[in-house]
A and B are shown apart, each in its own frame.
Chain A
């Protein structure tokens, strides 16, 4: 079951530059998307979300873009900081269809190089 895919298992970015993490989904019922950040031995921490009625949502250094026709979303972090080094998970749900469970991708390990 690969309804949510993160095709890059890892990404290294220089401090101060932009980090772009990508996510693809296959289920057309998904209408709510979230990004979580996870450090080892901790639970996922909510970062930012976007509804399917929008194509962009911004919160400080984090911006999520949604391309519904391509079933693709991305998370932009700018500028990248050393504390951003973590595993980032994309997740999706279909709450407007009564389905709040999150379906997660496999994660992308982001390393920020000082």
Chain B
């Protein structure tokens, strides 16, 4: 069964360093997302991406964050200068349909645990 994959599973970095989290969405999916879950808190939306551009972003997704689909399979989240409060589980998700084409479930990857020291 097709699944969303994410690498690495765990990333440890120093405050101020750049990190890139990688995701491979399900191959026929058109809509991609990043969410995060800080320990003990709920899963929060960061950004959605469709047709090679950001569709929507939350207040969390400030100038330190960026997303990219560098090729036909990968979808990346970059944090330019990490802060202690960026420590969280980051989940990538994808869905079949594009914006405005109806309701569709999102399938999540296993997550990357980011630890900022």
Chain A residues within CB distance 8 Å of chain B: 31-32, 34, 36, 41-46, 49, 51, 89, 91, 93, 95-96, 98-107
Contact = CB atoms under 8 A, between A and B. Distances in A.
A103 B45 contact: yes
Contacts of B75: none
A105 to B, nearest CB: 7
A53 B55 CA distance: 26
A49 B111 CA distance: 22
Find the residue from A43, A46, A104 having the highest chain B CB count within 10 A: A43
Contact of A101 (B56, B91, B103, B107): B56
Contacts of B55: 100
B95 A100 contact: yes
B42 A104 contact: yes
A3 B33 CA distance: 20
A107 B33 CA distance: 20
Given A101-B33, A102-B45, A96 B108 contact: no
Contacts of B31: 100
State the majority secondary structure of interface residues on A: strand
Contact of B42 (A32, A41, A51, A107): A107
B100 interface: yes
Contacts of A103: 45
B56 A99 contact: yes
A105 B41 CA distance: 10
Given A96-B102, A99-B56, 5 more contacts: A41-B111, A43-B110, A46-B108, A95-B103, A100-B48
B35 A102 contact: yes
Interface string B4-42: 101000000000000000000000000101010000011
B106 A46 contact: yes
A43 B108 contact: yes
A44 B43 contact: yes
Interface in B90-117: 91, 93, 95, 99-100, 102-111, 113
Nearest to A47: B105
B108 A95 contact: no
B68 interface: no
